[in-house]
Amino acid sequence: MKNHGTPRKEEWTHQQVAQIQSVFVKAIPDAVEKTNLSPESVINAVKNNGQGITNLVSIMLSDMVNYAPKLGPPNPKSNEYAKPLWKEGKMVIDGVDGSQTFANMDHMDKLFASVSPRFFFDPPHVGTLEDPELGANEPGKPTGERPVIVCEQVKAGTIEQILRSINPNLDELCFTQHQIINFAKKYRHKLRPHPGFTYFLFKSHNRFLIANLEQSDENDLKIIADLIVPFSEESLSYVEELGQAPLHIVCPY
């Protein structure tokens, strides 16, 4: 049998270390309270190789699942249809409360040249690409900071092929509308000018939708916002050609 040697240890990222620290910081005080131990006795026990705090550790480990942060999707990798543009640098969407939608955003006239009426309807209708009454006027849940990366299309394909090549779990690619608006405010210079498109996947009334943002003019960077139904009969058969301005998709990671 061949000896393949000791497997190489994967290095922890700063984000992973911070997540683990956060779990322990939250779990230890609650475990101490449940065991009626004083902070001083816990500190002394740690100094004595952990003697006397077996029950504390057991409770802390069993409770950790309640404090563990939801891990984000895996880092996008180059694939048949898309590649991550790491050269664009790290971008972070701010923590937001989810209240803003494209139909009710603040200062819309200062940032957006136009917003499709498709965003404004509520409750939803059974929409197609030709039916503007799609019902996307639904606020989202509060979200924390979210690192994002831009992925660029490298091969012609349907919207579904391109999205699932980045992450088969489409829910992990989704933003809230408030997060998309925050990205537009912070990084509008990253949006593609016409005829290029920048896609953001989101859900409204339990349906996958796409916010398609583009710069209306390279000088004033005003934004045009359109709405696409990615898995309607029409769009499933529509192929995104590569062309001179490949599609960009903003993705969480």
13 pLDDT more than 60: no
pLDDT of residue 93: 95
**Higher pLDDT pick, 34 / 175:** 175
pLDDT of residue 5: 45
pLDDT of residue 204: 85
34 pLDDT more than 90: no
Q: pLDDT tens digits, residue range 40-92?
A: 777 777 777 666 667 667 776 666 655 555 445 666 778 899 999 987 777 99
Q: Report how far residue 56's alpha carbon sits from residue 34's, in angstroms, rounded to the nearest whole number.
A: 8
Any domain includes 3: no
Any domain includes 182: yes
pLDDT of residue 41: 75
Name, in order, each residue with C-beta under 8 angstroms of 137's C-beta and a sequence gap of 6 or more: 101, 103, 104, 119, 120, 121, 122, 204
Name, in order, each residue with C-beta under 8 angstroms of 9's C-beta and a sequence gap of 6 or more: none
132 pLDDT more than 90: no
Looking at residue 231, the DSSP 8-state letter turns out to be T
Q: How far is Cα of residue 244 from the mean position of the Cα atoms in its chain? A: 27
Name the percent of the chain lying above pLDDT 90.
Answer: 25
Let me know whether 62 and 150 are in one domain.
no
pTM, full prediction: 0.66
Residue type, 251: C
208 pLDDT band (50/70/90 cuts)? confident
State the residue range of the domain holding 25. 14-67
Tell me whether residue 173 is exposed, middle or buried, using C-beta atoms within 10 angstroms of its C-beta: 0 to 12, 13 to 18, 19 or more.
buried
Let me know whether 146 and 92 are in one domain.
yes
Torsion sign (Cα): 143, 147, 150, 154: negative
Any domain includes 2: no
Phi/psi class of residue 50: alpha, beta or left (left: φ > 0; alpha: ψ in -120 to 50)?
left
117 pLDDT more than 60: yes
Closest CA to 249 of 116, 149, 100, 130: 149
187 pLDDT more than 60: yes
Q: Which of 40, 67, 94 is the last residue in one of the domains?
A: 67
Q: What is the CA radius of gyration of the chain?
A: 23
Q: Rounded mean pLDDT of 174-192?
A: 90
pLDDT of residue 127: 46
Let me know whether 95 and 32 are in one domain.
no
Let me know whether 151 and 36 are in one domain.
no
Let me know whether 139 and 230 are in one domain.
yes
Let me know whether 44 and 158 are in one domain.
no
C-beta neighbour count of 23 within 10 angstroms: 18
Let me know whether 39 and 104 are in one domain.
no
Any domain includes 61: yes
Q: Report how far residue 185's alpha carbon sits from residue 213's, in angstroms, rounded to the nearest whole number.
A: 12
pLDDT of residue 243: 75
Number of domains making up the chain: 2
Q: What is the mean pLDDT of the chain?
A: 75
Name the percent of the chain lying above pLDDT 70.
Answer: 66
Any domain includes 9: no
Q: Report how far residue 155's alpha carbon sits from residue 158's, in angstroms, rounded to the nearest whole number.
A: 10
Let me know whether 97 and 172 are in one domain.
yes
pLDDT of residue 6: 45
Let me know whether 180 and 210 are in one domain.
yes
Let me know whether 224 and 140 are in one domain.
yes
Residue count of the chain, please give it. Answer: 253
